[in-house]
Amino acid sequence: MKIKRLEILGFKSFQDKVSLEFNQAITSIVGPNGCGKSNVVDAIRWVMGEQSAKNLRGKAMEDIIFNGTEYRKPLGMAEVSLVFSTEDGRVPAKYLNFTEIQVTRRLYRDGESDYLINKIPCRLLDVAELFMDTGIGARAYSIIEQGKIGMILHAKPEERRFLIEEAAGVTKFKARKVVALKK
């Protein structure tokens, strides 16, 4: 699975709809301090299901909704879509017939939120399952932020094991085992 496109609307500093294409092997985002580079990474992390406002550099989840500026009113909703190509075939079997997978997350100021896969409403669990064992995901190793390398090097063995299990592809089975044991 490879990121093709990121669409942001009303998320943090992005008041108008912005579509970023990821065509080449490497995409760099450059710009002056405070222009929104890290907000792009936050948007990717959020749409993949991040539940912690702190991990998105905010106090409450509502902080991710565009809060207005001197000239623009705050918005009532944030929406981010992340589009993946399925060309490499490394996708769950039920998505093999699709040429792309679009994951969307919305949040309204009243706290209501939606997740959608290919525009069909779904559960957070479905989004999490889509990314399990791919190394992508809100908590996986596809996003290496400042300090993460050091954190991995200094992690306790059981914390490091989580990353190894994700890479080895056993995360999904462990999650299913937890559900099965509860039944």
Q: Is 39 in the site for ligand ATP (CB under 6 A)?
A: yes
Site for ligand ATP in 64-93 (CB under 6 A): 65-67
Q: Is 108 in the site for ligand ATP (CB under 6 A)?
A: no
Residues annotated in a binding site for ATP? 32-39
Q: Give, to the nearest 10 degrees, the angle between helix 171-182 and helix 124-131.
A: 140
Site for ligand ATP in 148-177 (CB under 6 A): none
Q: Is 35 in the site for ligand ATP (CB under 6 A)?
A: yes
- Residue choice 38, 55, 67, 142 for contact with Mg ion (CB under 5 A): 38
**Residues 114-153, mask of contacts with Mg ion (x by CB under 5 A):** ----------------------------------------
Buried b (16+ CB within 10 A) or exposed e, 139-167: bbebbeeeeeeeeeeeeeeeeeeebeebe
d(CA 52, CA 48): 12
Q: Give the N- to C-terminal CA distance of the chain in Å, as an integer.
A: 32
Alpha-carbon Rg of the chain, whole angstroms? 17
Q: Is 31 in the site for ligand ATP (CB under 6 A)?
A: yes
Rounded least distance, CB 147 to Mg ion, Å? 13
Q: Is 38 in the site for ligand ATP (CB under 6 A)?
A: yes
Please calculate the CA angle 49-53-56 and round it to the nearest 5 degrees: 75
Considering only 33-41, 96-104, 130-138, 174-182, which stretch makes contact with ligand ATP by CB under 6 A? 33-41
Buried b (16+ CB within 10 A) or exposed e, 70-97: eeeeebebbbbbbbbbbeeeebbeeeee
Rounded least distance, CB 39 to Mg ion, Å? 8
Amino acid present at 156: K
> Could you list the residues that contact ligand ATP (CB under 6 A)?
12-13, 31, 33-39, 63, 65-67
